[in-house]
Amino acid sequence: MTGISSEFPETTLDDKTLGQLIERRRHLHAHPELSNEEEQTARYIEEQLAKIGITDVKRIADTGVVAVVEGAHDGPTLGWRGDIDALPIQEINEVSYRSQNDGVMHACGHDVHTTVTLGLAEQMHARRDELHGRVKFIFQPAEEASPVDEPVGAEKMAQAGVLEAPKVDAVFAAHCMPTLEVGKIGYTGGGVWAGSDLVEIEVRGKKAHGAYPHEGVDAVLVASHLVTALQSVVSRRVDARQACVVTIGKIEAGNSYNILAEDAKLTGILRSLSTEVSAQAKEEIGRLARNICEGFGASCEVKFTAGARPVINDSRLEARAVRALEERFGTDEIVPHEPQLGAEDFAAFSRRIPGCYFFLGIRNEREGIVNALHTPNFDVDERCLGFGVERFAMMLLDVAKGWERE
């Protein structure tokens, strides 16, 4: 383990605990599993919970695991969620704990999230005489999956009753953040992650020979105008003070180089931090697409498929949690952070009950730990494990203790 220099804060966790955290994280990192395939990961979580001494453990939503630690005092039921799935990425890091599953990698830090969640469960179990109420630890599969015909991930767990029996009063989570220095915890003061919608536009023109384009309607030309025009939705129709992104990442058209394509399909994403902005953007995209196609003599079909909803922190819960963290660790370590236009399915929980989502600093420029999420050379400064467990354990204890007073 790298020695902690004076430029970073220190954790009060002992070396044995820190060593266990690193061992767990490296095991998980070396054995990643894709969404809905996390059977070995779930078994490992169950084994670790048993070693800790936690007995209230059960499977839910196939490869999900939920564990409850009961405190000695009356109080709320708080939830802590850690996602457990990996990505279809080939790791290129030359480390001893490199992925042993070809083409699969923990490139989004879910190995860290799982480890921190296990560490928090261990801390709550060890300190249950101090705990008011109980904490339900939710080990969630398939965060990276996209719903097609049925719910996945957080939504599947919610529909399976993970927030019930006992009913969860509030739920927390945190995500590795490579833009945030190790030792720091970030909060956003509202919106955290964007909602994400799949955008599909099918353009229908008329086939003709390339030498006689006037006899047809060129679907490729129409689609090309659409790609550029759609950016005006963001720059000219949506309030510039509101975050919104429209990206067309895929175009399919034609089957011959000298024939005007009869059809073209554009596929992309719409992201925003507000359901209202998203609804407006959808309306604008549909109207713009239809009008442009009509102007060229073409027609189109516009389809939106809902993905993750925006993650927006409950203001009262976030204020409680941030205050608890600042009182323990100071404002130098608990810092504001910009929201992200990436997507996360935590809203399946936080739209049902109050939720609060944090960022966990993992960055260490001196050690070269700066790479972005979802890249083949992503890694973390493992000191984040101790910082995450220590800080969030104290937050859970303090929020639970003060629950009835607020």
Annotated binding site for Mn(2+): 108, 110, 144, 175, 374
130 is catalytic: no
- Which among 200, 172, 204, 167 has a CA at the least distance from the CA of 185? 172
**Other Cβ atoms within 10 Å of 134 Cβ, number:** 20
> In sequence order, which residues have a C-beta less than 8 Å from that of residue 58 and are 6 or more positions away?
65, 66
> In sequence order, which residues have a C-beta less than 8 Å from that of residue 245 and are 6 or more positions away?
194, 234, 269, 270, 271, 272, 341
149 is catalytic: no
**Other Cβ atoms within 10 Å of 64 Cβ, number:** 23
Residue 316's identity, in one-letter code, is R
d(CA 83, CA 345): 10
- Which member of 143, 155, 262, 379 is catalytic? 143
φ, ψ at 338 (rounded to 5°): -70, 145
d(CA 108, CA 372): 9
Asked if residue 343 lies in contact with residue 197, where contact means CB atoms within 8 angstroms, the answer is no
**Other Cβ atoms within 10 Å of 2 Cβ, number:** 11
Q: Which two tokens stand for residue 182?
A: 């190790």
- Which member of 33, 38, 83, 85 is catalytic? 85
Q: Give me the DSSP letters along 111-135.
A: HHHHHHHHHHHHHHHHTTTT-EEEE
Lateral strand order in the sheet of 334-336:
57-60, 64-70, 132-140, 73-83, 170-181, 355-363, 185-187, 334-336
Interstrand relation of 263-272 and 73-83 (parallel, antiparallel or unpaired): unpaired
Question: For the chain, how many helices (H) and strands (E)?
Answer: 10, 16
d(CA 386, CA 332): 17
Name the DSSP class of 308. P
d(CA 394, CA 406): 18
**Other Cβ atoms within 10 Å of 235 Cβ, number:** 10
d(CA 79, CA 72): 17
Interstrand relation of 170-181 and 73-83 (parallel, antiparallel or unpaired): parallel
Q: Which two tokens stand for residue 403?
A: 């629950």
As annotated, the active-site residues are 85, 143
